[in-house]
A and B are shown apart, each in its own frame.
Chain A
């Protein structure tokens, strides 16, 4: 018999080791999957994990990983703050869409005027758009006690319909021959978010993500608000005694995550994506939830988790093209990677002890249980 013993503190060694173990395990399981599909497992795994980092075109691929990870990290950081407080915003996808729409709308309103104030204005509009969309579940939670998981999730669908409506209507490119989709902001200098140093992938969104990592770290570890957020999540009763007003925490957490998701949307629409279109959103808001947990809700962990997710996307596309793997296999592979990462996480929080089988006592002692949300 084995049993688990909670560690008083997460093991530093295992925190580093578990992701590596998980990746190795995924390589084996994924290799079996690829072999079952009749593909060369070693070559496929190499295409996914090795080539983007160290292959022939790694310089290009690393840039793409950064670009792909940027919005994931930005959104995940915002979400992690709420998750620490036990506030479950799972509608970041909707806030991401609304940020993109609001930001792009402001930019397009000035078309074709060229002025330096346009882009900053778009950034503000993007953040506000995401913030406002997140304020709906915040308001309803505070006013009526409505569950924010559900409201924020439902609002994703509303935002998606609104997005297709905007692509077909108000924001449609008047010179686009009737096709849905807005003008391409990449071709409108004042509203575009290009790479600041060509070839590095560093656009404003990536920079914002990196700045946000540090800001989130300071906020959560060095600032009173961060402390209040953590106390609220760990012990609502203690929070009440400490005079923390839960409603403010709700507004703060949802507002921050909404604004960051909105920013991510704005940077994406004005940069890599270029335009508002019916299929503009690609599930970053949902993937970011996984990124937040993989990073253990820690800003630097989220940075690494975002980069790892980015790697599997870039490498996945490479494997599809070069090895002919179906997209579905890559999706299943990503799922497996997440399973292993989540499963091995156990080792950093618990110790496995070997124990002799005992006679089960008639009356079990009251036990303490480890509760984390």
Chain B
């Protein structure tokens, strides 16, 4: 076997791109789950973001406006979920699944007239001298802006949850909404905001696919990325930092598999396609066998209906 043709630099660079959509969607979902809400509709919000972002970019010619539209679209979908689960007190698992169904159909309807169009190009970071630096330049300094934005967002969420008062309130609501309510915090308002943030992030992740990674619009183009984002959140045991590792690991296995094939290494492809999922399970097992840690991180009120009856 000849592995020498594989360039680690290129591998890392491309896995960063491949992982960005799921990283974006996952960081949003992490905040949602930290507030005690389980939204399984990530796929539906991502695909809505993908078409909103695409359509607005094409209409206005501005990829940035497209990203804003994607966030609005994702947050709008999330708001449906939020109103149903927070105001109408519907079951979160079922509502999330329904959201995915609706999102896939709705996005395809909106996107009917956008197939076969090219979106405007997305600017990428290109600092003349620095990008030329061997290895580091290509890995770190030669991506589109969204890669950095996604990493920045993870950092911001980490800071917000860990060091700010508002982050503390959000976490306490996720831990015990009854107690938080008794302390006078607006449980429903905070959760609605968290849900919309999650939707906006998922929408961004979807738009990353349709505007940058692929870039084009086709029905059902997220092809299950939203579900992977959900898995990542638990994989990371609700820690933003681990999310990056998880996303890059997941993207990495797929990229590595494709690259090994391209190099001509004979690998059992069909079985290797299962590898990312099997590895996720293995890592889950390893993380969760340390029981104390996971119970510290998992929001205790996750998925429970909150109703203040005062």
- B partners with A: yes
Residues in A lying within 8 Å of B, measured CB to CB: 4-6, 37, 88, 90, 140, 144-147, 149-151, 153-155, 157-158, 161-162, 164-165, 168, 286, 289-290, 292-294, 326-336, 338-339, 342-346, 349-350, 363-373
B101:A161 contact, CB within 8 angstroms: no
B270:A165 contact, CB within 8 angstroms: yes
Q: Which residues of the partner chain B approach A343 to less than 8 Å between Cβ atoms?
A: 84, 88, 90
Q: Please report the C-alpha to C-alpha distance between residue A14 and residue B108 in the assembled complex, in whole angstroms.
A: 35
With beta carbons under 8 angstroms apart, the residue of A6, A90, A367 that contacts B93 is A90
Q: Which residues of the partner chain A approach B270 to less than 8 Å between Cβ atoms?
A: 161, 164-165, 168
Residues in B lying within 8 Å of A, measured CB to CB: 40, 80, 84, 88-91, 93-95, 97-99, 101-109, 112, 177-178, 181-182, 184, 219, 224, 227, 230-231, 234-235, 270-271, 273-274, 277-278, 280-281, 284-285, 288-289, 291, 294, 303-310
Q: Which residues of the partner chain B approach A364 to less than 8 Å between Cβ atoms?
A: 181-182, 184, 310
Q: Please report the C-alpha to C-alpha distance between residue A367 and residue B102 in the assembled complex, in whole angstroms.
A: 35
Q: Which residues of the partner chain B approach A155 to less than 8 Å between Cβ atoms?
A: 277, 281
Q: Please report the C-alpha to C-alpha distance between residue A370 and residue B288 in the assembled complex, in whole angstroms.
A: 29
B177:A369 contact, CB within 8 angstroms: yes
Q: Please report the C-alpha to C-alpha distance between residue A344 and residue B84 in the assembled complex, in whole angstroms.
A: 9
Q: Which residues of the partner chain A approach B102 to less than 8 Å between Cβ atoms?
A: 331-332, 334-336, 338-339
Q: Which residues of the partner chain A approach B274 to less than 8 Å between Cβ atoms?
A: 157-158, 161-162
Q: Which residues of the partner chain A approach B310 to less than 8 Å between Cβ atoms?
A: 364-365, 367
A157:B289 contact, CB within 8 angstroms: no
Q: Please report the C-alpha to C-alpha distance between residue A279 and residue B288 in the assembled complex, in whole angstroms.
A: 33
Q: Report the minimum CB–CB distance from B189 to chain A (whole Å).
A: 14
With beta carbons under 8 angstroms apart, the residue of A150, A326, A330 that contacts B284 is A150
User: Which are the 8 A-B pairs with shortest beta-carbon distances?
Assistant: A335-B102, A331-B105, A328-B108, A332-B105, A293-B94, A338-B98, A342-B90, A343-B88
13 contacts between A and B (CB under 8 A): A4-B89, A6-B309, A150-B231, A153-B227, A153-B230, A154-B231, A154-B278, A327-B108, A329-B105, A335-B98, A335-B105, A342-B88, A342-B90
Max chain A CB contacts within 10 Å: which of B40, B95, B105, B182?
Answer: B105
A153:B99 contact, CB within 8 angstroms: no
Q: Given A161-B273, A343-B90, A364-B182, do A371 and B305 touch, yes or no (CB 8 Å)?
A: yes
B108:A331 contact, CB within 8 angstroms: yes
Q: Which residues of the partner chain A approach B104 to less than 8 Å between Cβ atoms?
A: 328, 331
Main secondary structure of the interface of B (DSSP, over half): helix
A346:B289 contact, CB within 8 angstroms: no
With beta carbons under 8 angstroms apart, the residue of B112, B184, B278, B305 that contacts A372 is B305
A145:B178 contact, CB within 8 angstroms: no
20 extra A-B contacts, CB within 8 A, seeds A336-B102, A339-B102, A343-B88: A144-B289, A145-B288, A145-B289, A147-B284, A150-B280, A151-B281, A154-B281, A158-B274, A158-B278, A161-B273, A161-B277, A165-B270, A290-B97, A328-B107, A335-B98, A335-B102, A342-B94, A364-B181, A366-B178, A372-B305
Q: Which residues of the partner chain B approach A363 to less than 8 Å between Cβ atoms?
A: 184
Q: Please report the C-alpha to C-alpha distance between residue A161 and residue B281 in the assembled complex, in whole angstroms.
A: 15
A144:B288 contact, CB within 8 angstroms: yes
B230:A373 contact, CB within 8 angstroms: no
B101:A338 contact, CB within 8 angstroms: yes
B97:A328 contact, CB within 8 angstroms: no
Q: Please report the C-alpha to C-alpha distance between residue A17 and residue B3 in the assembled complex, in whole angstroms.
A: 66
Q: Given A140-B285, A290-B94, A333-B105, do A157 and B277 touch, yes or no (CB 8 Å)?
A: yes
Q: Report the minimum CB–CB distance from A55 to chain B (whole Å).
A: 24
Q: Which residues of the partner chain A approach B90 to less than 8 Å between Cβ atoms?
A: 342-343, 345-346
Nearest A-chain residue to B95, judged by Cβ: A342
Nearest B-chain residue to A283, judged by Cβ: B101
B277:A370 contact, CB within 8 angstroms: no
Q: Which residues of the partner chain A approach B271 to less than 8 Å between Cβ atoms?
A: 161, 165
A369:B284 contact, CB within 8 angstroms: no
B101:A367 contact, CB within 8 angstroms: no
Q: Which residues of the partner chain B approach A328 to less than 8 Å between Cβ atoms?
A: 104-109, 112, 219
Q: Which residues of the partner chain A approach B98 to less than 8 Å between Cβ atoms?
A: 290, 335, 338-339, 342
Q: Report the minimum CB–CB distance from B251 to chain A (whole Å).
A: 15
Q: Report the minimum CB–CB distance from A52 to chain B (whole Å).
A: 20
Q: Which residues of the partner chain A approach B281 to less than 8 Å between Cβ atoms?
A: 140, 146, 150-151, 154-155
Q: Which residues of the partner chain A approach B309 to less than 8 Å between Cβ atoms?
A: 4-6, 367-370
A335:B93 contact, CB within 8 angstroms: no
Q: Please report the C-alpha to C-alpha distance between residue A293 and residue B308 in the assembled complex, in whole angstroms.
A: 23
Q: Which residues of the partner chain B approach A293 to less than 8 Å between Cβ atoms?
A: 91, 93-94
Q: Please report the C-alpha to C-alpha distance between residue A1 and residue B102 in the assembled complex, in whole angstroms.
A: 31
Q: Report the minimum CB–CB distance from A170 to chain B (whole Å).
A: 11
Q: Please report the C-alpha to C-alpha distance between residue A342 and residue B88 in the assembled complex, in whole angstroms.
A: 8
Q: Report the minimum CB–CB distance from A340 to chain B (whole Å).
A: 10
Q: Report the minimum CB–CB distance from A234 to chain B (whole Å).
A: 12
Q: Which residues of the partner chain A approach B181 to less than 8 Å between Cβ atoms?
A: 364, 367, 369
B231:A335 contact, CB within 8 angstroms: no
Q: Which residues of the partner chain A approach B277 to less than 8 Å between Cβ atoms?
A: 154-155, 157-158, 161
Q: Please report the C-alpha to C-alpha distance between residue A161 and residue B268 in the assembled complex, in whole angstroms.
A: 12
Nearest B-chain residue to A296, judged by Cβ: B91
Q: Please report the C-alpha to C-alpha distance between residue A336 and residue B104 in the assembled complex, in whole angstroms.
A: 12
Q: Which residues of the partner chain B approach A150 to less than 8 Å between Cβ atoms?
A: 230-231, 234-235, 280-281, 284
Q: Report the minimum CB–CB distance from A53 to chain B (whole Å).
A: 22
Q: Given A161-B274, A342-B91, do A332 and B106 touch, yes or no (CB 8 Å)?
A: yes
Q: Please report the C-alpha to C-alpha distance between residue A273 and residue B88 in the assembled complex, in whole angstroms.
A: 39
A151:B99 contact, CB within 8 angstroms: no
A6:B289 contact, CB within 8 angstroms: no
Q: Which residues of the partner chain A approach B231 to less than 8 Å between Cβ atoms?
A: 150, 153-154
Q: Report the minimum CB–CB distance from A156 to chain B (whole Å).
A: 8
Q: Please report the C-alpha to C-alpha distance between residue A145 and residue B281 in the assembled complex, in whole angstroms.
A: 12
Q: Which residues of the partner chain A approach B107 to less than 8 Å between Cβ atoms?
A: 328
Q: Report the minimum CB–CB distance from A358 to chain B (whole Å).
A: 10
Q: Report the minimum CB–CB distance from B145 to chain A (whole Å).
A: 31
Q: Report the minimum CB–CB distance from A34 to chain B (whole Å).
A: 11
A146:B273 contact, CB within 8 angstroms: no
Q: Which residues of the partner chain B approach A162 to less than 8 Å between Cβ atoms?
A: 274
Q: Given A4-B307, A155-B277, A346-B88, do A332 and B288 touch, yes or no (CB 8 Å)?
A: no
Q: Which residues of the partner chain B approach A373 to less than 8 Å between Cβ atoms?
A: 303-305
